Every structure is written in C-alpha cells, then in structure tokens.
Amino acid sequence: MIQIPAGQVAAGQLPHVCPRHGEPAIEMKKLRLISKPPPWAAFLIILGGIVYLIVVMVLRKTVQAAAWPWCEQCKATRSRNLRIGLGVLGLALLLIIIGVATINNDAGPMVFLVGLVALIVGLVFTARAGYQPVAGAFVSQDGAYVEVPKHDGRFQQALQYGSAPPQQPQYPPHAYPQQQVQGQYPQQGYQQQAPQGYQPPQQGYEQPQQGYQQPQQPRY
C-alpha cells in the first residue's frame, strides 16, 4: 500500500501515471475521495441502519482530488461494470414484476426471490462503477493521506522521481569556458580565425630596405 499526502492530492501534484494500473493517463479527473468506515462501525448495524449511517457520515474524511490520473484501463473497467450493473438491474426489475404478477402460482415466489438477488448484484456492480472504486484510492482514517492498497510499481517510481527536485550538474572549475575580455589579447592556445580572402605571405618575399634613397642624376 502506498500513502500520498492529502495536500499533494488536493493540489493536483501527481504524475501522469495511473496509480492502480501503471499506464499513462489519458486524462486527469477531479475526484471526491472519502475514507472507509471504521471496522467497529459494523456493529452499529444492530442498532439500526440510521445509526450506522449517522456515525459513518460524522467520522468520514474527504479529500477533493484536483487531478487524479485516469488511464484507458480505468475507463474500460468503469464502462464494463456500469453495463453489467445496469443490465442486471433491468433484469432484476423484470423478474420482480413477473414474480409479483405470478405470486399466486408456485413459481411466482421463486421468481420474485431471484429478482431480489439480481437487484443486489446489480447494485454492487453499479457501485463498483464509481470513480473512487475504480481508482482504488481511499482517504486514511485521520485524513492526512490518500491510500492506494493495490498500486502499481511504475506509479511509485514516477511519484518518487517527480517529488525529488532536479539536481544541477556539477562541473569542475576548469570545465567552464573562459570569457575573453575586450581589449585583451587572446590566451595561449586560442586560434583566431583568419578573415575571408586573406592569403599568407609567400616565402622568399623581401621587404624593402629601410631609409630613403635619392635617385641618381643622369650624366651627359
């Protein structure tokens, strides 16, 4: 089981990876997550369903997930459970009507009983088609965390990677490029690119002698 801080879930700071299936999220849904009833609350059913519901509503913790990862498999699971649930509910309603209509016959009570069982099964599948049951996430009893009992390891890795701040690469001092200061000569080892069209002087070129030489006058 993995525990996610409730504040992080409410802020929508989750990776785009499905917590339950580990697949890439096709959308980020807004979900209302609640906590499970405490185990001891089941004994309150003896006192009546109203007492049980009141205690559960008072003790329930709620977290509004701003962006919960929803993958393709989550979408397919919800659609399948919803189709099965609605189909069984329709069949249950039909069987109950037939059972009531034939209650005086021998098969009438049996059909009515089968209809009631089908009604319960249809309600269970319809409830499992909700967003929270498909996501498989519940709020902890203290409301501080969102718990995913059946989580995928890929989501846990993405969550750990996303929560860690990116580290800046460390370079040795000599690895940084040295900036050339304007007005200074380039350092040793720096080769300045020659301008286009420049030709180096050819070997054997003799520079003119220094000094001014007066031309000689012709003799007559």
pLDDT, tens digit, for every residue of 128-158? 999 999 999 999 989 999 999 988 889 989 8
| 74-106 pLDDT per residue, tens | 999 999 999 999 999 999 999 999 988 888 887
Using a pLDDT cut of 70, give the percent of the chain over it.
73
- 184-192: list long-range contacts, CB under 8 Å, 24+ apart: none
Query: What confidence score (pLDDT) does residue 102 get?
Result: 86
CA distance 114 to 126: 18
- Quickly state the pLDDT bin for 109 (edges 50, 70, 90): confident
- Quickly state the pLDDT bin for 213 (edges 50, 70, 90): low
Query: What confidence score (pLDDT) does residue 178 get?
Result: 47
Query: How much is the pTM?
Result: 0.63
